[in-house]
Every structure is written in structure tokens, then in C-alpha cells.
Structure 1
């Protein structure tokens, strides 16, 4: 419970002013040397020997990951990977129906998201990349037995830094009251949405994770958060601390915004067009409203379309998991299914790449 004393407005006002200097310096150098982004995108893992043409800023950035890979502890990370092996299909479902829309309800953070045309106009691809990101993070043996996930984290961290650069350089309508773009508080909140909010969604459906499972997942995302450039001083160690952190951020930022409502409408349109299951396709707003709760749903302007039971939704998502994977549900089956879906819909697997800018 030691973290609770840190969850104050004075601390979090400062977090809104803080970005990620290590990644920001690397991106500034990449913008000056666009061909280096292509080299990074061609990697499968971060190499032991970095290219000579890398600047000090880019080398320092990747040296961070080389050093962190020596600190990975199997006993700390394996529990969450086992949890994902058992609940991965439900975990991904909660990302789509709870975590992402929950982020949209926080007005200042939504201002960054809405300025990315891809998340509005190409939301299918953006969500596919998010799913791939999570699958890479939870690959059995990730971080301690295999190294690919370090590159995944590094790329997403650089993408965040590119977003900050473009907003600082070109977003004439950016209001300083939003805080710095992709700031430390917003990154903490997003990390919480990908961990604690998923656990809360499972609980709402009757699949309450044990205290150990919850702690394992929080511990895992502390590790991921550090790799993503988050100041984990403020990261919760227990479910109680996670609850209080979420409540504090919610109190500070949950409010209606045109940005949030534009994002949620884009998400709803995508689900209604892309989800083949009539059970879900015709009930998208109601399902979203159930998980988000009245306050966040009202902030996003979601319609009241009926009363939903957590147990019923749990049965529905479980049935869809059985339908997709049969009795072989597990990480390998989920990954195989995701690859097939993406190839059918987009003609390729939506792997994560950093921007490659054409300088003229």
C-alpha cells in the first residue's frame, strides 16, 4: 500500500509535463536520418552489435534494451504468461470491448489519439496491430527465453515519440491544458487499461482472477511499462493500489470530449461492419456500455440499448472462444487464428513498424 501516498494531484500534475527523453532524442535523430528507420523495421530482434551508422541517441536507446534483457527474471514473468495461455481469448476481447474504449473516455489523452488519422480512418489495421503487440508481449518465454518482445516494445515506444514530435511540430490546435502529448500520466493510464481494466472486465463476466493472478499481471505490466519508458515509481504493486490509481486518474480526467466521441463512433462502426457474429454485431453499444459502466458510457455518448448480464456475456464470449478454438484454446491457437484473420482481411499480418519518412 506504499504507492497510495503517491497518488496525489501534485505528483500527477508533474507527470503530465513529463515525456520520454530517451525515446524523444532517438526519434529526433531518426527524423534526420530516415533510412535508419527502415533498418530497424527489418530486424527480427535487437542485434547484439548495433549498426555503426546509428547516432549516439539511437544507440543509447537500443542499449537500454540490451541492458534490460540481462535483468529479466523468469519467475517474475512466467505467471502472467501462464494466465494468458489460459485466458488469452478473453484477454483480447476485453482489450477491444473495455480497455480501448475506456481510454477514449479520458478527454485529454483522447486528444492525442484523435490526431492519428489511422486510429479513425484505419481503425481495423490499428486494432490489429494492438492485438499483435499484446500477442508478442505474452509469447511463451518472452523476455527471458526469447528476445523478440524487446524489439516490439522498442518500436511502440518510438511510435509514441514520433506522435509527440508531430504534435509538437505540426498540431497548431494543441492546447497546453491537455498536458504534454503521450505524457507519463497518460502512459500510466494506458498501461493500467491493458492490465487492471482487463482483469476488471473478466471479473464483471464472472471469471474473477485470483489475487495471485492479478498480482502476476500487474507485475508483468510493470516490466513492460519500464520497457515502454514509463516511470514505474508510480506503478501499483497490488490490486488495491491498482484500484486506487485507476480511481485517481478517473477522477482527474474522465469527461466528455468531441475527441472521445469521435473515437468511440469509429470503433462502433468498425465492430458493426467487421464482426461476423450476430450475437455481438447487433449489440455493440450495449456490450460496451456494460463494461464501461454508466459514467464512462455517458461520457462517450453511448446509447442505452438494454440490460446486460455479466454471466450471460461471459457465456457468450466463452462460446465464441470454443467456436474459434475448440478444445485447443491456448496461445498457439489464438496466434494462428489471429494470423489467419489478418491475412483474410488485410492480405498480410499487421506487424508493428515505426514511421519511415521521405525527406525531400
Structure 2
């Protein structure tokens, strides 16, 4: 048994290599924010959000222009989770496995880091409810042999129409969509794809400006049971509206539901509900669409419909989703740990704290990580329905 963690660092890094080979598509695809080093758990970190500017006519005058007042409202996020996994050994247990101890230790460190990485990945995947709009058919795997790569083209159109940057776009899909994508001849024929990697190694190449990743944590969304909702505003809703007042509806509209205006010829967009509501007899319901709101003006009494349940593959610009991480904080002067070290994954930047605790005739290990996630820019996020 090593006296300190120094002798175990090669073992821990072998464990890290195992974790890196698993399907964690969101962690490397989002923006990592290291400002979490300065924040305690649940403490809010703020950054300035500059509002949209307005243009006006130029009118000659004897004095300079009077600037328009602006309110700089802050965006906020926090370290919301500080989590760890622990395992330990006593002397008799070490003796019972003899020469297998180091190999088992590798597996235990791998399992510890796997759990934490998967929790971070799951939290990032759950941010699909903040996306602006959606494309595809709920319940149907994208990249079929008929529509092929049109899915990424249309997803890119949503982001571009919302004003999202053209660079650093990411698409995280589940393994079912990944398998469908790999079967497209446009990607497996070397003369068309420009590479043999998709065919020989199953590598997913960039498509229509999206760097494509697979994740085992892509979420499945179960639709709300709401029906019969109508737009309820005499003046209707102009383009860009997010707060929508409805009436006549019964049942729940959930955050993450896909909402469409089904008035013939009105609007073909599929909107993601940011804040839902539950309709009851004689009670109106307010819902909120994600930014940038409706793309087409809605008219009073337009019917609204909730789409079917779906798999939430997610396309976004890297800067649209923030992951703030740090190692869990120790008290001033330390705790009962005999040794503490930090192991950093060079690929994703995630840093795990590893602590060694010597106890009576046994030793315990703790692997910890603290993090928070935030959808910073919903306009730069769109769901690819599956």
C-alpha cells in the first residue's frame, strides 16, 4: 500500500483513460468556465448581458445625439453540485486478492470517475428544455435513407435564423441516430466523404458546420397531456413574442414540450416550451416560449398543439451552454485526509479531487467534483427530434 497518493497517480491515470473512451459527448462540446474556482456551492456568479440595440433616423441638430438608456441585466449561474464517490479496503481484503489489488483499484477509480462524469453529462443533456426550436419528427430516428443529411442543414438554418455564429457549432446525438448517420453512403464512400474514417473506424465527421458527438445521456422527453389550447389575445402576438396567454385548454403543457400553431397556413415552426402550465375548465393558462419567440405573428384563437414524445438530440454553438467546474473545497487547514491530489483530464479539462483517508485497519478513497451547468443562450440551441 502506498504511503501517499503519489505512488498511485499512474494507477489513477489509467482509470481516467478508461473513462475517456466512454460516450460523453456534451462535456467536450460545451464552454467550460473556470470562474467556479472563486465560488462557493450555490453562490451566484453574474456576467453582463447587453440588450439588443435599436436603430433610428439621422436628424441634423446643433448638439450631439442623446444616447438611449439601456439596462444591463446580469446573467447568472452557480456551482449547484458538489459530489463524490468513495470506496475502501482493509488488510484482509487486500490479502484475499493478492496480486490483483492494483488492477481492481484501477477499476474502482474508473467506476468512481465514470459516475461523476455521467452525472455532469446528464445535467448538460437535460438543458435541451432551454432550446429555441426543434426540427425533425418526434419518435423517428433522424438521418434516414430518404432525408439523409437534410437534418443537419435544417438544424443549422434554425441557428442561423436566430443569429447564432457560424463557427464552433456542435451536435450531440444518441447512439441510435449515430448508427443511422454511419449508414449513409454520403459518409461511408471515401470518394464522397473525403475520408475512409467513417467506414473503417466509424468516426463521425463534421457535417454542415456541426462537430458531431455521441452521448449515452441524451434525454427522452415525455410530452404533457395538454389538449385544446387556443391563443387568447385579441390583438394577437407579434413576431418575437415569448409569453403566450391561452384559454380553453385542458391538461398539462410541460417545459420541453414541442408546441406548434396548427392554424392552416399560419406557422410551420416547432417551438420549445420554456415554462409550461396546466389548463383546467374555465381557467386560462400562461406559457412561455424559449427565445427568440415566435417567428410568425399569431392571431387570436389560433389552435395550439403539443407534439409527441421524443429523443432530445441537441445542436448548439459551444458558447450557448456553460459548464462551470472545480474540485470540492476543503476547510481551512484541511480535514482528516492523509493526502489529497488533483487529477485533470487533459481532453475535457475536468479536474477530480482524490483524497486518501487512513482509518483503523482500513483505508478509504474519495473521488470528488463540483460543478454547475447553464443554458446561456437559448437562441443558439435547437433540438433534433428523434
The alignment's TM-score, normalised by the length of structure 2, stands at 0.24
More helix per residue: 1
Which has the greater radius of gyration?
A: 2
Higher RCO, 1 vs 2 (CA within 8 Å, ≥6 residues apart): 1
